[in-house]
Amino acid sequence: MCYTVRMDTKLSEHIKRVLPWLDEDQRRKFLASEAISLGRGGIQEISAISGVHRNTIAAGIKELNDLDTTTIGSNTEKRRIRAKGAGRKPITVTQPGIKEAIERLVDRSGDIR
C-alpha cells in the first residue's frame, strides 16, 4: 500500500525546534500527541518528519491512552528516565588511580612535567 506523506512545513519546523529540548520519554509523548492530532496517517507523517520510528510513536500513543489523569502534575516523587545506576560510571571507578596519575603529571603551578 502506498502512502503519500504530506510534509507540512510549519509542523516540520515546530517539531524540529522542540525535539532537541526533550528527553526520550517527553519526545515519545510529544510526537504521539502530534500524530494523534493529525488523525489517520499521522504516525507515518510524524515519523517521516522527525526520523523517529513509527513503533516508538505508537508506543507513545499507547502511553498517552493509558495515562492515569489523576497523577498528571503531581510532583510527589522525582520522575526518572532511566533506572537508578544506569549510565556511564565515573572515570574514578572505571580507572582507579587516574586522579593520582594526573596529579603526578601536573605540578602545583599547572606546568606539565
Question: How many domains does one find in the chain?
Answer: 1
Beta bridge pairs of residue 106: 112
With respect to residue 85, please indicate whether it lies within any of the assigned structural domains. Answer: no
With respect to residue 80, please indicate whether it lies within any of the assigned structural domains. Answer: no
pLDDT digit string, tens, across residues 77-112? 556 667 777 778 888 889 999 988 888 888 666 666
Please give the residue range of the domain that contains residue 8: 1-70
pLDDT digit string, tens, across residues 37-77? 999 999 999 999 999 999 999 999 999 998 766 555 554 45
Residue 36 vs residue 85, higher pLDDT: 36
With respect to residue 96, please indicate whether it lies within any of the assigned structural domains. Answer: no
Q: How many residues does the chain have?
A: 113
Helices and strands of the chain, counted as H and E runs: 6, 0
3-state secondary structure of 112: strand
With respect to residue 53, please indicate whether it lies within any of the assigned structural domains. Answer: yes
With respect to residue 22, please indicate whether it lies within any of the assigned structural domains. Answer: yes
With respect to residue 90, please indicate whether it lies within any of the assigned structural domains. Answer: no
With respect to residue 107, please indicate whether it lies within any of the assigned structural domains. Answer: no
